[in-house]
Amino acid sequence: MTTLRKGTLAVAAGVLVLAIVLFVAAGALPGLFGLGCWALVLLVGLAIERWRYKAILGAPPGPEWRSNGERFVDPETGRMVAVYEEPASGRRVYVAADA
């Protein structure tokens, strides 16, 4: 996750928490429904990003993992990435190709 993305997420979460505190302090509990919906959207987006975008490792994970020959340029970092698979489970990991 990039610094910009982390910062944006932190600011959005902080604004939501502050707004919830202000709504509760003002006694405007019905307004919390809208804030709850936005908080849910934020959490679902974060969960999808964590599931969809995998971390790029600096070194191959272990001797049981094999490179499958697949390589691509990571659009976020611009680095060449190699794909490794664990034959027993079919799991995949992404490793910086220069590692």
Query: pLDDT 10s per residue in the chain (99 long)?
Result: 567 777 787 888 888 888 888 888 888 878 778 877 888 888 787 778 777 777 788 888 889 999 999 999 988 788 899 999 999 898 899 999 875
The predicted structure's pLDDT at residue 83: 94
Continuous segment of H or E residues that includes residue 72: strand 66-73
Look at residue 1 in the predicted model and tell me its pLDDT: 56
CA–CA separation, 7 and 29 (whole Å): 28
> Is 0.95 topped by the overall pTM?
no
Specify the pLDDT at position 34: 80
